[in-house]
Structure 1
Amino acid sequence: MELEAFLRRQPPAYPDTQALGRCLRALVEARLDQLPLPGSGRTLERFQGLASVGGHDLGLCKLYEGHTDALAIMAQLGGTPTAASTWGMWAAEPPDARLRVVAQGRGLTLHGRKAWCSGAAVLSHALLTAWDEQDRQQLVAVALDQPGVTLSVQGWQAVGMGATGSVDVLFDGAEGQAIGNPGDYLRRPGFWQGGIGIAACWYGAAQSLAERLRSHCSRREEPHALAHLGAVDSALHAAATVLRCSANGIDAAPQDDAERLARRVRAVVEDAAEQVLRHVGHALGAGPYCKDPQFARLSADLPVFLRQSHAERDLAALGLHILPDTWTL
């Protein structure tokens, strides 16, 4: 796979946001950002690509997933990205950072603060959610190299996922372009399909960590390490199975509401990733945390990236979905 070959040529760790930005631009220039679209009949290939980047570096994966998600959204809702552009997908909506969009002639202007803007310092463009005069959510494309766009340098103290530079961005009259109609971002089938793509990123990182344990056990048959490897295998097998099944389901019915499917897949993969972190750490001890830079980075990044899940809140939402139904084999 060309994407995997590219990643093998990259360093095992990226020291800062600028390094992540350079690698993302190289991926775009090599057209390795052109993943199959969700529901295209090749959704599993899309998930495999995201997992490959996740297993290499989760900071890079955060930017790569956002960029490829933005491309998929524009393919679905309209919008033509310029050549060699790099995109963020910024949809966080905390109460104290609600961006406003105002009609201005034939265009739009943006006003206010957008939070959790990963890679803001190194991206050329962003898709972001904002709210119009009628209090409707509108997706907006915006170039970041224009007057009226200011990056905050406060509030980002992360160790895990630290290199993503997920800062607040301030907008003061910056010009943007509406993508789709108000409400389209959440209504489209691709919203929940993209949520499963996030789970593929989690899986890739967990699988990469697990490979260290498999390699260790292949060199020496320690009963306790083998028990941990068995637990890791069962968890990853469950995660891989639901990801494959979800890809097949999306391709079979690309316009169906995928919310329940996405919530189930994300719950299974999140649980598997947390099991991998625990079992691999117990089996291998402190050594790889201290001497394997890629392992150490993935181990620090993955718990933070997993918090794109909302834990018990997401499980409660899944519980509401299953109330009218039952389970069958």
Structure 2
Amino acid sequence: MADTALTLDALLADFARRPNPPMSGDALAEAMRLCIEHGLDQLPLPASGQTLARWQQLAAVGGIDLALLKLYEGHTDALAILAELSFNPFFLPGIWGVWAAEPPDARVSIVQQQGTEVLLRGRKAWCSGARQIDYALLTVWGADDQPQLVAVRLDSPGVSVDGQAWQAVGMASTASVDVHFDGVVGHSVGGPGAYLSRPGFWHGGAGIAAAWYGAAVALAKALREQRGKGRDDPHGDAHLGAVDAALCGAAAALRECAAWIDAHPRDDAQLAVQRLRAQVEMTVEQVCQHVGRALGATPFCRDSHFARLAVDLPVFIRQSHAERDLAHLGQLLAKQETEDWTL
């Protein structure tokens, strides 16, 4: 996987160092298609014995560009889901996404079904990359009031994108917009409830944490390079020491969780993954604080790659639900017979 990461860096070097302001969605889609053409989307499947290698690639893309990572992670997650549920209704290659947010004011429903073919109507919120991708896996609702995963072609009649609500500065180019479905034909993937009940659901959630980690490492490298120039700055050295301690702890947690998943491929990984996400989120917040305080305004204003990561990462990491996720973790721990804290 190290050779693949080097190939990725070489392939996207110009993309990572492009000047700001943010690029157009067309440029983002072009970068994603370049990854697909070179086979860089063909990652080891989660829980296949190479989970860490999969996460290393997600971290590598996260360190290059988080807007690209948003598309890349959604695409590779969709491929993993389709493999796990053993179904792919489309044969032409393209960029995939996964849209599974379910806010109370936006729901897509199945209004008609014949075999695996369904007719969809409603509004789906938080649809990342809707203007760049070709296919989507989305959660919808049937008569049994259970979430059903459905695959759709986004050039199908009845699909329309509404991006007016997206006012983000961070992650601006991925545009997690609303998509309306009016009599759109889709194909059910797995049975009702299969999306949430499959082991891979939590495996995918851990992959997001690897991407957070990769972006934090890229910011930390700017501090490491600055301190490597030899100018005496004990405060800068202290910030670098704090960053190193935080990142090494998160890296150990990622390796441990990946090994656990590979050793228990069919087990419920919720506790392991929620613990990991909390650890990595706290690490990212520490890294952002220490790097910013150590380096001052210069890289935020003069380094396009650093500046983009610095504004994208606080938005991207809000895929965590903060204290709500910590509360869920605490509830899971309270139900265990032991806390598993022994060295």
Normalised to the residue count of structure 2, the TM-score between the two structures is 0.94
Q: Which residue of 1 aligns with 2:195?
A: 185
Cα offset, 1:9, TM superposition: 4.7
Distance across 1 between alignment mates of 2:241 and 2:24: 36
> How many pairs does the alignment contain?
329
CA contact (8 A) 1:108 1:175 kept: yes
Per-residue deviation, 1:28: 1.0
Distance 1:291 1:153, change over 3 A: same
Is the 1:29–1:84 Cα contact (8 Å) retained in structure 2? Answer: no
Q: 2:235 aligns with which of 224, 236, 251?
A: 224
2:314 to 276, 298, 303: 303
Aligned match for 1:10, one of 5, 8, 15: 15
Where 2:12 maps in the other structure, the secondary structure is helix
Q: CA deviation at 1:11?
A: 4.1
Q: 1:267 pairs with 253, 259, 278, which one?
A: 278
Secondary structure of the 2:184 match is strand
Q: For residues 89-104 of structure 1, what are the structure 2 equivalents within 5 Å?
A: 89-104=98-113
Q: Which moved more, 1:206-215 or 1:84-93?
A: 84-93
Alignment of 1:146-295 (within 5 A): 146-219=156-229, 220-295=231-306
Q: Which amino acid letter does the alignment assign opposite residue 277 of structure 2?
A: R
Q: Following superposition of structure 1 onto structure 2, how do residues 59-98 of structure 1 map, counting pairs within 5 Å?
A: 59-80=67-88, 81-98=90-107
Q: Which residue of 1 aligns with 2:39?
A: 31
Q: Conserved in 2, the CA contact under 8 Å of 1:140 and 1:179?
A: yes
**8 Å CA contact retained: 1:136, 1:183:** yes
Which amino acid in 2 is paired with 1:10? F
Aligned to 1:116: 126
Q: TM-score, normalised by structure 1?
A: 0.98
Alignment partners' CA distance in 2, 1:9 and 1:154? 30
Query: Does residue 315 in structure 1 map to residue 315 in structure 2?
Result: no
SS in 2 for 1:168: strand
How far residue 156 of structure 1 moved from its aligned partner, in angstroms, is 0.3
Using the alignment, how far apart are the partners of 1:235 and 1:227 within structure 2?
A: 12
Whole-Å Cα distance in 1 between the matches of residues 250 and 111 of structure 2?
43
Pairwise CA RMSD: 1.1
1:189–1:255: 8 Å Cα contact kept in structure 2?
A: yes
The alignment partner of 2:91 has SS state of: coil
Report the residue type matching 2:110 in the other structure. Answer: V
Segments of 5+ residues of structure 2 without an aligned counterpart are none
CA distance in 2, matches of 1:3, 1:41: 22
* Separation in structure 2 between the aligned mates of residue 113 and residue 119 of structure 1, nearest angstrom: 16
Q: Which amino acid aligns with 1:181?
A: G
The percent identity for this pair of structures is: 57
Q: Distance in 2 between matches of 1:95 and 1:277?
A: 33
